[in-house]
């Protein structure tokens, strides 16, 4: 027996089941049948009492892959809060004959259920969150660049994530030159840099902010993946039409945001100019789509066609009629129309003004007839 529990059995409460440990060994385990069963036990936050009632309802006996444990005397049990116990997910998974992925998944579901969040985040909420992430990340990255440029102005790259990763790799320019020999170009830039030296405290602040920005970039990616999955599941036809590129998907979400999720009630021309800043405009938010970027001529015609197709797909998805069938056919039709219009433009030959004049006003030669 260990001195920590003084011979008593330790009751360990987890999100996936109940464990009993004595002398640093698991002597019993009971897995919850469902999330609802775990939620009923833990929702009142009186876990030990609820678990005791649960064990009594099991006829004071826990069946496990170990020996059956009889709990005739509940006084021998002490909750894990009273004892400093540390159990890893791997140990829990082995005791309950589960995988670590199942343990983590069930834990996340139970945490979501206990948080009281019953409404699933919709497209507009997720889009606004992604938009907030983008603005915040861009603003903070710009400030980090301006700050670190005083120390290493020669470090330049177009990709913000790549710049932040390089910053974490270099940190203090002078120490990087002394300790790194594997990247001669970067070392040479750092060695001949015109920036001023930074102290350890200043570098520490920059590194701390950079790590937070990289975490937000990962969080933004996770939210965008959830947004992509939500649109794909809830609006399959719109996703087939507007979900092929990241920019198109965000444009579709912006249309949802501007229209307050009422695209299915709007006509094609209304969607075409939705989000425009001018009264008489051919384009609105859909001007940023890849369709209009590929269109070299008659962009007004393509935008009108795209607005009509978005309106039709929104109405179809609202009625839950087809699972992406119409969206893919509409996308192919728009692409074919764009290729047709671009092909007509290429077939037209450009001629100069002088050639045009000669072609139009060319006079036939005068023939003199001898009598």
Interatomic CA distance for residues 51 and 9, integer angstroms: 14
- Say if CB 286 and CB 303 are below 8 A apart: yes
Mean pLDDT rounded to a whole number for the chain:
80
**What stretch of H or E contains 242?**
helix 236-242
Interatomic CA distance for residues 267 and 315, integer angstroms: 10
Beta carbons within 8 Å of 307's beta carbon, 6+ residues apart = 268, 269, 270, 271, 272, 273, 286
pLDDT score at 182: 76
123-227 shares its CATH topology with 235-348: no
pLDDT score at 371: 55
pLDDT score at 104: 82
69-70 and 17-22 strand pairing: unpaired
pLDDT score at 35: 78
pLDDT score at 32: 80
Tokens representing 46?
Answer: 């009186």
pLDDT at 368 over 70: no
- CB burial of 46-62 (b: ≥16 within 10 Å; e: otherwise) equals ebeebbbebbeeeeeeb
Write down the H helix ranges in 22-158.
35-42, 47-57, 89-95, 100-114, 123-148
- 173-206 pLDDT, tens digit per residue, is 999 998 876 788 888 999 999 999 999 999 999 9
* pLDDT cut 70: percent of the chain above it: 76
* 68: confidence class by pLDDT, cuts 50, 70, 90: very low
pLDDT at 308 over 90: yes
- The pair phi, psi for residue 3, each rounded to 5°, is -75, -20
Residue with tokens 């993946």: 225
Assign 90 to helix, strand or coil: helix
Beta carbons within 8 Å of 20's beta carbon, 6+ residues apart = 9, 10, 11, 12, 26, 27, 28, 29, 62, 69, 77
- 113-130 pLDDT, tens digit per residue, is 776 655 566 899 999 999
Closest CA to 260 of 322, 314, 300, 326: 314
| pLDDT (mean) for 162-170 | 93
pLDDT at 44 over 70: no
pLDDT score at 1: 30
* 95: confidence class by pLDDT, cuts 50, 70, 90: confident
- 271-300 pLDDT, tens digit per residue, is 999 988 876 777 889 999 999 999 988 898
Locate the domains of the chain by residue range: 9-71+84-115, 123-227, 235-348
Residue 98: DSSP 8-state: -
Beta carbons within 8 Å of 324's beta carbon, 6+ residues apart = 236, 237, 239, 240
pLDDT score at 10: 75
- In CATH, the architecture of 123-227 is Orthogonal Bundle (1.10)
| pLDDT (mean) for 63-80 | 42
Please tell me the CATH superfamily of domain 235-348, with its number: Nop domain (1.10.246.90)
């Amino acid at each position: 027996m260990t001195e920590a529990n003084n011979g008593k059995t330790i009751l360990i409460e987890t999100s996936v089941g109940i464990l009993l440990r004595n002398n640093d060994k698991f002597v019993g385990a009971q897995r919850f049948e469902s999330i609802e069963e775990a939620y009923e036990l833990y929702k009142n936050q009186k876990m030990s009492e609820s678990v005791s009632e649960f064990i009594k309802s099991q006829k004071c006996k826990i069946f496990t892959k170990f020996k059956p444990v009889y709990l005739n005397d509940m006084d021998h049990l002490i909750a894990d809060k009273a004892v400093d116990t540390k159990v890893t997910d791997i140990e829990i998974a082995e005791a309950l004959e589960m995988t670590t992925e199942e343990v983590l998944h069930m834990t996340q579901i139970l945490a979501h259920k206990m948080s009281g969040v019953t409404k699933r985040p919709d497209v507009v909420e997720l889009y606004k969150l992604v938009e907030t992430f983008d603005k915040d990340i861009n603003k903070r990255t710009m400030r980090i660049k301006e700050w670190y440029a005083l120390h290493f102005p020669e470090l330049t790259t177009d990709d913000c994530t790549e710049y932040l990763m390089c910053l974490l790799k270099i940190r203090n320019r002078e120490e990087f030159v002394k300790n790194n020999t594997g990247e001669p170009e970067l070392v040479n830039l750092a060695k001949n840099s015109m920036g001023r030296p930074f102290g350890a405290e200043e570098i520490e602040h920059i590194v701390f902010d950079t790590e937070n920005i990289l975490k937000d970039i990962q969080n933004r990616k996770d939210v965008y993946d959830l947004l992509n999955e939500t649109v794909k599941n809830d609006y399959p036809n719109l996703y087939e039409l507007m979900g092929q590129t990241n920019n198109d998907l965000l444009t579709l979400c912006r249309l949802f945001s501007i229209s307050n999720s009422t695209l299915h009630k709007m006509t094609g021309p209304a969607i075409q100019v939705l989000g425009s800043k001018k009264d008489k405009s051919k384009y609105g938010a859909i001007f940023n789509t890849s369709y209009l970027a590929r269109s070299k001529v008659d962009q007004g015609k393509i935008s009108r066609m795209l607005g009509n197709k978005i309106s039709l797909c929104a109405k179809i998805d609202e009625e839950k009629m087809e699972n992406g069938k119409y969206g893919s056919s509409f996308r192919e039709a728009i692409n074919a129309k764009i290729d047709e219009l671009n092909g007509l433009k290429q077939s037209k030959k450009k001629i100069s003004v002088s050639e045009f004049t000669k072609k139009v006003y060319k006079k036939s030669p005068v023939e003199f007839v001898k009598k």
